[in-house]
Amino acid sequence: MERLEKKGREVPADYLNRPELEPEGAFYFDAFFRLSPSRRVGFSEGPIPFEAIDAFARRWRIWGSEFDRFERMIRALDSEHLTKRSAGKDDPQNLTSMKDAAGLRALLQSVGSKGG
């Protein structure tokens, strides 16, 4: 940011208005977005495979009850993602941008209310 200001360039508004998540929420979102490409795609988009979740958790040394919580959170985010995608694949209202702080909070609250 300082380098841009020194060069007389503006800091992008998206950077200044980026959503702020609690560290734990940010970790789950990061994990979800890293795991999403591992899903199988055929006639429709499938869920994130257990093997991918397990490998990610082992890499980050997430064990025992922490793994159970991690898997539940990834599955809840994935379920929400797949529900929105199947409701209207091309409908922008069914997508949540990473830049939409209110949308991300609402998604986390929705997942939390389902017992994630």
The angle that helices 50-59 and 23-35 make with each other, rounded to 10 degrees, is 130
pLDDT at 97: 66
pLDDT at 107: 74
Neighbours of 73 (CB within 10 A): 21
**Separation between Cα atoms, residue 110 and residue 114, nearest integer Å:** 7
pLDDT digits (tens, 9 = 90+) for 16-73: 777 777 888 889 989 999 999 999 888 788 999 999 999 999 999 999 999 999 999 9
**Separation between Cα atoms, residue 111 and residue 99, nearest integer Å:** 19
Q: Give domain limits for the chain.
A: 47-106
What is the three-class DSSP state of 110?
helix
Report in angstroms the alpha-carbon separations of 86 from 34, 63, 91. 21, 32, 10
pLDDT digits (tens, 9 = 90+) for 79-95: 988 988 787 655 655 56
Backbone angles phi, psi at 49, to 5 degrees: -65, 145
Which residue bears the tokens 């980026």? Answer: 18
Centroid of chain to Cα 103: 12
